[in-house]
Amino acid sequence: MHIEELPTPCAVVDLDRLERNCERMSERMRSLGVRLRPHVKTHKCAEAARLQVRGHFGGVTVSTLAEARAFAAAGFADITYAVPIAPARIAEAAALARGIERLALLVDHEAVAGELEACAAAQGVRLAVLLKVDCGYHRAGVDPTSETALALAARLSRSPYLDFRGVLTHAGHAYRARDAAAATVIAAQERDVTVAFAERARAAGIEIAEVSVGSTPTMCAAADLTGVTEARAGNYAFFDAFQAAIGSCTLADVAFFVLATVIGSYPARGELLLDAGALALSKDEGPRHVDPECGYGLLVHAVSRRPRRGLKLAALTQEHGQVRGAAETVAAQPIGTKVLVVPNHSCLAAALHERYAVVRGDTVIGEWRPVRGW
């Protein structure tokens, strides 16, 4: 099937670009001396994850227990669930941990440590845990300069029911960077804060085997990861308009698109209507700190992937995308024209689709189905 024969809206994965992105990140992490534990939440499918782990030890990172179950069933045996776990779901996680080599859970609060210990004791298992450290994002994690953080690390390491593996952080504030140079600075902060806490814990007699960091902007920009043992970037597999805007990649690296059809043409008011709206693209506002007029995604030609100049995806409703441009530019896109949209945030857009059409060039060669739910 030709790409333009696909029904729309449709999620499209460019396999050539995906393979290239995975190999580049794999080689980059090898050159920096760390193992790669890719985050699979961007695509949520085993086929893409297998490309990401080539040449590395095979561990992955997930953001939902549904992902953990699906990837365990697909043969991935070393999984980090990189969200602080809700106490009500600890028993569910413990049951999954019994069936694989390791399922590591995050802790950043004394109360959750107690819940984990109680469940492990009741089920007769030993649960792998990592202490989440806040390196400046301020979304989750302990303050690495506090005595409370050191005390929690000590408790985890002493517990007979928990296998304390080390520390983990995520520099989500790197998404506020304006360019690769700014991301390099944040990558150094991510490393320094986490490594310093690991060294502080070791000095207190606490064993720290793993120092895990990672985001796509920081891992694309990092110059030195001394003291780090593993990296957990994920978006790099697909990339998106946001990553291109902040310098993590170029538009030619983006491997995920949403195919849409022009279903309305109104040259007199300089507008086109697409059949892809918020439920196909998400309403992520994109890199407005870089370009306040960025719109809700970038339009490119379905076959060449070249940008469609002079057109802006200006507004989204549930099932409609409103494109604005000069009258003559709008008139040159007749009803029925197929366009590819580079989403602002590929992770969110991909999660809205039950299947991906996988293409090489302009030929559809397969279909992948991501896991859904939590």
Domains within the chain, CATH numbers bracketed? 3-9+249-368 (2.40.37.20), 32-236 (3.20.20.10)
CA distance 53 to 40: 10
Residue 152: name the closest of 194, 109, 118 by CA: 109
What one-character DSSP code corresponds to residue 133? Answer: B
What one-character DSSP code corresponds to residue 167? Answer: E
CA distance 21 to 40: 14
Whether the CB-CB separation of 145 and 207 falls below 8 Å is answered with no
Residue 32: name the closest of 194, 191, 257 by CA: 191
Count of CB atoms situated within 10 Å of the CB of 202: 11
Write down the pLDDT at residue 346: 98
Count of CB atoms situated within 10 Å of the CB of 209: 12
Tens digit of each residue's pLDDT, the chain (374 residues): 999 999 999 999 999 999 999 999 999 999 999 999 999 999 999 999 999 999 899 999 999 999 999 999 999 999 999 999 999 999 999 999 999 999 999 999 999 999 999 999 999 999 999 999 999 999 999 999 999 999 999 999 999 999 999 999 999 999 999 999 999 999 999 999 999 999 999 999 999 999 999 999 999 999 999 999 999 999 999 999 999 999 999 999 999 999 999 999 999 999 999 999 999 999 999 999 999 999 999 999 999 999 999 999 999 999 999 999 999 999 999 999 999 999 999 999 999 999 999 999 999 999 999 999 99
Residue 76: name the closest of 95, 48, 34 by CA: 48
CA distance 254 to 201: 40
- Which amino acid does the sequence have at 31? S
Write down the pLDDT at residue 63: 98
Q: Which residues contact 59 (CB under 8 A, 6 or more apart)?
A: 35, 37, 53, 76, 78, 79, 80, 230
SS3 of residue 252 by DSSP: helix
Whether the CB-CB separation of 359 and 348 falls below 8 Å is answered with no
Angle at 96 between CA 90 and CA 98, to 5 degrees: 105
Residue 295: name the closest of 284, 309, 304, 306 by CA: 284
What would the two tokens of residue 371 be?
């896991």
pTM, to two decimals? 0.96
Whether the CB-CB separation of 103 and 123 falls below 8 Å is answered with no
